[in-house]
């Protein structure tokens, strides 16, 4: 279970970072580091340290970024995590690149390339070649840059890395425009746009249209330059709107959470005050009932004692005649006293039971049941709030899922959404108030409906739609 959660958190951290929700992404990666330590997963730990370095690099805290990437690289080397060693080496080059130390960046990427070749890491070789091409491009050594771009493209085609292929073609287009070959630049910008339409990455697509517009302008094709620029402006507005929407959703979520927390605190304080007041009132009532019962008993006993004494005095002269009658009366009085004492003990027992009931010594009490019912109502409100915000944040995913698989029911779409954000079967069952078996059955039904390839998990397929 923890291993599955670790895999989900690796993806969820990147998702939150891309959504500009930096504090949440930091919380997720720190929690994932603890899980990986518990699982004794050094290679996974190296990957999380690399992600933590990237986080601090984005935050422009370069001292922390260098510290964590060095930790990542050390663990990868010590534990023979080969792929992670290659990627951590390239991450170190990104640190040098951010600090504009192009020579050090190139040197480090060359080391990464040698390691990737040594470990037969096709994806690592392709990425290293791409990084080297960028370094040469910054150093204005365009021929060498193009050579490594071609090698990178071949590697990315083998691994079917569409995102990387998009970046390669965009970089190649930029290269041709810099050397004064705008017609070739147009060809590769169009290829990059084609790949980007598959990725649905609005922020990248925006700049590809801008590059295409500038290339058309270079050859004085102002009509196509104009239309490409319109596409750029349209994408720019879409990207800006999306960023504003994300910020708004984040602010709304935080505000709703704080408001709910404040309401819960007020309700808890009010309920606590009411409970304490009721306990005091019940204790006071029980005390006076006990006093009243005891007083009544004493009065009754005293009355009978006085009457009996008077009767004995008045009929002293008839002792012989009324001996039996007095004995009968004495027995009657004894029986009455027994009944009275029995009645008192019964009231005392009832008083003790009420005290135990109030102090919750017997387990579940009326107060705890009422509190649990109120707490349950508050939890339902929170679940509804969380669910609504999950649907807002993942609206594009829901739309893509419905468009691609219109045969899915509303319930099946909702379960797919919960799977996509990383909830386990147990957690989905709790949210939907159903059994884990029912969730498992629904997962199997969804898989059959959308015809997922046997060697691909449902989780991976749903994540690929976002």
Its sign, for the CA torsion 4, 7, 10, 12, is: negative
385 lies in a domain?
A: no
pLDDT for residue 345: 45
Ranges of residues in the chain with a pLDDT under 70 are 1-2, 13, 17-20, 241-261, 264-265, 319, 321-387, 389, 466
212 lies in a domain?
A: yes
pLDDT for residue 100: 86
- Assess whether 171 and 265 both reside in one domain: no
CA 125 from centroid of its chain's CA atoms = 35
Phi-psi sector, 140: left (phi>0), alpha (psi -120 to 50), beta: left
- Assess whether 105 and 147 both reside in one domain: yes
pLDDT for residue 256: 53
- Assess whether 238 and 270 both reside in one domain: no
Residue finishing a domain among 224, 244, 264: 244
For the chain, how many structural domains are there in total? 3
pLDDT for residue 281: 85
CB-based contact 33:45 (threshold 8 Å): yes
For residue 165, give Cα distances in angstroms to 149, 151, 210. Answer: 10, 11, 19
- Assess whether 120 and 154 both reside in one domain: yes
- Assess whether 281 and 156 both reside in one domain: no
Tokens representing 266 are 């007020």
379 lies in a domain?
A: no
374 lies in a domain?
A: no
Helix 395-404 to helix 410-420 angle (10° resolution) is 130
Pairwise CA distance, residues 422 & 462, whole Å: 11
CB-based contact 149:185 (threshold 8 Å): no
Pairwise CA distance, residues 335 & 127, whole Å: 101
- Assess whether 202 and 87 both reside in one domain: yes
Q: Which residue has the tokens 């050390």?
A: 74
250 lies in a domain?
A: no
- Assess whether 425 and 454 both reside in one domain: yes
Residue finishing a domain among 220, 244, 268: 244
pLDDT for residue 16: 74
Pairwise CA distance, residues 131 & 171, whole Å: 11
Strands (E), 260-353: none
DSSP classification of residue 456: S
284 lies in a domain?
A: yes
386-407 exposure pattern, b = at least 16 Cβ within 10 A, e = fewer: eeebbeebbeebbeebeeebee
pLDDT in tens, 80-135: 888 888 889 988 888 888 888 889 999 999 999 999 999 888 888 898 999 898 88
For residue 82, give Cα distances in angstroms to 13, 79, 319. Answer: 23, 9, 116
Question: What is the domain extent for residue 63?
Answer: 2-244
Cβ neighbors of 240 (< 8 A, separation 6 or more) are: none
- Assess whether 119 and 170 both reside in one domain: yes
Pairwise CA distance, residues 421 & 388, whole Å: 13
pLDDT for residue 370: 41
- Assess whether 212 and 84 both reside in one domain: yes
381 lies in a domain?
A: no
CB-based contact 46:54 (threshold 8 Å): no
For residue 176, give Cα distances in angstroms to 131, 138, 186, 206. Answer: 18, 14, 9, 19
389 lies in a domain?
A: no
- Assess whether 110 and 194 both reside in one domain: yes
Task: Output the DSSP codes for 73-109.
Answer: HHHHHHTT-HHHHHHHHHHHHHHHHHTT-HHHHHHHH
pLDDT in tens, 203-258: 788 888 999 999 999 999 999 999 999 999 888 887 776 655 555 555 555 555 46
pLDDT for residue 186: 92
- Assess whether 159 and 187 both reside in one domain: yes
- Assess whether 229 and 318 both reside in one domain: no
pLDDT for residue 349: 45
DSSP classification of residue 184: H
Find the CATH number of the domain harbouring 404: 1.10.10.10
């Amino acid at each position: 279970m923890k291993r599955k959660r670790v895999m989900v958190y690796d993806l969820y951290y990147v998702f939150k970072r891309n959504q500009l929700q930096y504090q949440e992404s930091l919380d997720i990666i720190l929690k994932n580091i603890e899980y990986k330590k518990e699982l004794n997963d050094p290679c996974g730990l190296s990957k999380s340290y690399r992600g933590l370095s990237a986080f601090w690099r984005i935050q422009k805290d370069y001292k922390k970024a260098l510290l964590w990437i060095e930790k990542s690289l050390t663990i990868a080397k010590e534990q023979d995590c080969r792929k992670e060693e290659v990627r951590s080496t390239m991450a170190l080059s990104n640190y040098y690149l951010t600090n504009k130390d192009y020579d050090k960046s190139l040197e480090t990427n060359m080391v990464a390339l040698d390691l990737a070749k040594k470990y037969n890491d096709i994806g690592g070789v392709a990425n290293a070649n791409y990084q080297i091409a960028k370094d040469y491009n910054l150093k204005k050594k365009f021929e060498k840059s193009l050579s490594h771009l071609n090698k990178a493209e071949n590697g990315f085609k083998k691994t079917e890395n569409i995102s990387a292929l998009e970046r390669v073609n965009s970089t190649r287009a930029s290269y041709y425009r810099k050397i004064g070959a705008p017609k070739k630049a147009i060809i590769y910008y169009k290829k990059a746009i084609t790949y980007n339409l598959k990725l649905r990455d609005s922020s990248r697509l925006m700049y590809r249209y801008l590059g295409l517009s500038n290339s058309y302008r270079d050859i004085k094709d102002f009509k196509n330059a104009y239309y490409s620029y319109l596409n750029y402006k349209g994408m720019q507005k879409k990207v800006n709107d999306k960023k504003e929407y994300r910020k708004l959703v984040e602010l709304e979520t935080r505000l709703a959470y704080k408001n709910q927390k404040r309401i819960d605190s007020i309700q808890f304080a009010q309920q606590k005050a009411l409970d304490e007041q009721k306990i005091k009132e019940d204790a006071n009532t029980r005390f006076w009932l006990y006093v009243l019962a005891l007083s009544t008993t004493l009065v009754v006993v005293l009355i009978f004692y006085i009457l009996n004494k008077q009767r004995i005095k008045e009929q002293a002269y008839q002792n012989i005649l009324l001996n039996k009658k007095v004995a009968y009366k004495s027995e009657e009085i004894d029986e009455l006293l027994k009944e009275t004492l029995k009645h008192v003990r019964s009231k005392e027992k009832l008083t003790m039971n009420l005290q135990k009931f109030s102090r919750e010594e017997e387990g579940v009490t009326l107060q705890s049941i009422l509190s649990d019912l109120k707490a349950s109502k508050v939890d339902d409100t929170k679940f509804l709030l969380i669910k609504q915000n999950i649907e807002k944040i993942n609206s594009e995913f829901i739309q893509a899922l419905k468009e691609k698989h219109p045969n899915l029911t509303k319930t099946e779409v909702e379960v797919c959404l919960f799977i996509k954000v990383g909830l386990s079967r147990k957690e989905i069952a709790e949210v939907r108030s159903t059994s884990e078996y029912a969730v498992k059955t629904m997962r199997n039904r969804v898989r059959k409906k959308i015809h997922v390839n046997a060697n691909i998990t449902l989780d991976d397929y749903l994540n690929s739609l976002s």
